[in-house]
Structure 1
Amino acid sequence: MVRLPLTETREHRQDILRIACASFVDDRRFHITPHCDPAVAAMVLEEWVRELDDVLVCFFRDRPVGFLALKETAPDSLFVHLAAVEERYRMAGAAMSLYAGAYRLARERGYKKLEGRISSRNTAVMNVYAAFGASFSEPRDIFLKEISHDA
């Protein structure tokens, strides 16, 4: 299932940040104010990216086009902490390559579970998870509505 080349690295942080900022335009993890503010989200994402350890990076013609960061949550479990693919490379199999790489890495290192959280609105990633035989539980979406006090 790996269609594009992958490498596990601590490099390419600026590319990872660029991809993340373009991918998480309305993700409430990074938009911490009631209105989505790209400048605020970029600062939050910059901190997230800076704190990442090794990351799987997917390449198209030597250019980083996607990434996937894993974190150990238990001795037998890895968690997809942060992952994104440039929109124009999603149909090229970048996400499938990244998740296949994460699955292979988890298996090679002896983990029993590979877990992740996604919005139920993100059907593209749900389809990728389903292609790997994932089961879904506890769906959660966060909705934020600003209350107007104008009468």
Structure 2
Amino acid sequence: MKKHHAPALIAIVLYKTFVASLLTVTSIALIFALKNHQVLEDFSQSYLLERKLNIIEFILEKLLILNPKNLLFSGIAAAIYAILTAVEAVGLWYEKNWATILVLVLVSISIPPEIYELVHGITVLKLAVFITNVAILWYLLYHWPKHGKGA
């Protein structure tokens, strides 16, 4: 018999999968930037970028102000968080109690810094992430007995 998942749970799992994918790409990009720091620095000073590719120039400027140790730390942290987020998504899909608790703890921890960020400047992305996390927190708290049946 095929198990039916609530639409909200499917949305949370898809959101977590999307976040895990973004974090994976970010981790790979940071590690790539670390391994090619000098090449990126040389490229940023080349004639090719002169007023032509503003978005690439912006990204390179942000990457190059980070020293290699910060790039390595950020790349590893993004990879660990990507794995953790993927584990959350799989655990929620199979309605594991530990996954519900893990998501509740991690989302609860993230809300105060998100409020701080919103107080210091609201953007559409910050507001969307905040609202999404509050909705996830509310849904999982409200439906906890229904989800998390397994160990």
Q: Same fold (TM over 0.5)?
A: no
Greater fraction of residues in helix: 2
Using the size of structure 1 for normalisation, the TM-score is 0.34
Using the size of structure 2 for normalisation, the TM-score is 0.34
Tell which has more relative contact order, 1 or 2 (C-alpha 8 A, sep 6+).
Answer: 2
